[in-house]
Structure 1
């Protein structure tokens, strides 16, 4: 039997039938919790066309068959659909809240030298967790008095490799002052600067899927969790699952920082909003006893 490639649509992308679109979106949702559908058809068709070409699958059905049988291919599919738009010192008010309010509260129950664990999920290409490390070095006088562990996680394995390498262009660095850029980054080469080795080694990176508890099992628990601008891509069921997993990974008295358009209070009753001078964040809700 000869398989004839599907002719691209006018926009250069292979057109998807309604059934193919739904099947691909179901695979993405099952593996990542991200919701895609008819309103994102153009976006989906462009990426599926690229993946069909890379795999030399020749047709949409062939490519879906590969997805069904090859977990590595599903991982590449998820990588192609993740959004990695970020930059250093994004939502800086939350970083100020971290040093001015969150950490001072956390260390009330800790002693010098104790461990403080901070998780950035999704960490994208590294700007998120590296920003935390730089901010604390620059703005928290007690940074050397505690054992601070910063972990960055993302479902996108390709972007994690980029994060480990630590190369960043001018767009990523645009919010940093020239002094900070010169202090923490090597000289520019080919319009990119590499983060200095000490800072690259100060952050641990690990693959993680916020809606898959099993994938998070080895990460341990954290005092502060940054999960910004991720839940907006989920439906209600996936958001509730993510909230449960975040709750399980949070130490008692710990804090969660979401994106400015997100609200944990609308998702889960296990969290309550805390209004600090710099930002609104979330922590485990205090439940009053019946007696």
Structure 2
């Protein structure tokens, strides 16, 4: 086996067949679409993993990937996209407090559980934004047991989310008083979320195209699944949509990114237009 001391990190040149094999593997495991048009992007990331794990030939490295789930996890981590910041698509947070949660809790008693899921949650900005927004803007936040879960396929991103340490760009949309109230100085201009807020969100690993992985998270009243389906093809989108449907309680809601439309993927959800946002609802009754 061609396993040698770590190489220099210079991108290796993959053949068209090697690109195809790798992209098919990533597709099967994640639903994400890559191809020859992203050759430079792919080769740079593969070269990084080959250098870190001490392989100088792609065939030897790929054999290692196929035999080692730990390496699969690390490979997937470097191909995920973690572009996010606090209060992104703020209109959906307004909709959450003004429309979605009031509709959910009209069937609940004070103290009842309400579950909110952010998937993929990347490095945590979205689920923490939900927590902060509710504390700042929803008067009923203390009347119910609000459980917020953030999930992602990228285990490296989840570790960063649990650390709760953020730079200026991630915080740029937050009002200064919110930053002062919920963050403490960290290092190099970074701020770290206060411990109580870090502990208010649970982080888990999940794969949207794996039904068993999604089912492990239980059911939710509201799901934020934004800006990930654009990386899938039609088959993977439908698979993810069905898994999300099963993860939402009857009558619960799904929030997608502003460029995404569930009506083009699945007819199982009902489109709902609220004052602040368009969202999708799992019908109260249905299969």
Report the TM-score when normalising by structure 1: 0.94
* Residue pairs, 1:105-184, within 5 angstroms: 105-184=103-182
Distance in 1 of aligned mates of 2:179 and 2:188: 16
Distance in 2 of aligned mates of 1:180 and 1:2: 53
State which of 62, 65, 68 in structure 1 corresponds to 2:66.
Answer: 68
State which of 188, 197, 200 in structure 2 corresponds to 1:199.
Answer: 197
Structure 1 contact 222–250 (Cα < 8 Å) conserved: yes
**2:136 match: secondary structure:** helix
Structure 1 contact 67–74 (Cα < 8 Å) conserved: yes
State which of 24, 37, 40 in structure 1 corresponds to 2:38.
Answer: 40
Distance in 1 of aligned mates of 2:51 and 2:280: 44
Distance in 1 of aligned mates of 2:260 and 2:234: 13
Residue-by-residue CA offset, 1:75-117 (whole Å, 9 max, x unaligned):
1110000000100000000000000110111111111111100
Paired position in structure 2 for 1:104: 102
Distance in 2 of aligned mates of 1:233 and 1:171: 24
1:235–1:186 distance in 2 versus 1, CA, 3 Å: same
Structure 1 contact 52–63 (Cα < 8 Å) conserved: yes
Paired position in structure 1 for 2:257: 259
Distance in 2 of aligned mates of 1:189 and 1:286: 48
Displacement of 1:240 in angstroms is 0.4
Structure 1 contact 231–239 (Cα < 8 Å) conserved: yes
Gaps of at least 5 residues in structure 2 are none
Gaps of at least 5 residues in structure 1 are none
**2:216 match: secondary structure:** helix
**2:227 match: secondary structure:** coil
Structure 1 contact 52–58 (Cα < 8 Å) conserved: yes
Distance in 2 of aligned mates of 1:2 and 1:268: 46
**2:117 match: secondary structure:** strand
Paired position in structure 1 for 2:217: 219
1:270–1:169 distance in 2 versus 1, CA, 3 Å: same
Distance in 2 of aligned mates of 1:148 and 1:167: 23
Distance in 1 of aligned mates of 2:71 and 2:215: 23
Paired position in structure 2 for 1:81: 79
Structure 2 contact 2–57 (Cα < 8 Å) conserved: no
Report the TM-score when normalising by structure 2: 0.95
1:4–1:103 distance in 2 versus 1, CA, 3 Å: closer
CA RMSD of aligned residues (A): 2.0
Structure 1 contact 227–257 (Cα < 8 Å) conserved: yes
Q: Report runs of 4+ in structure 1 exceeding 6 Å deviation.
A: 1-5
Paired position in structure 1 for 2:281: 283
**1:119 match: secondary structure:** strand
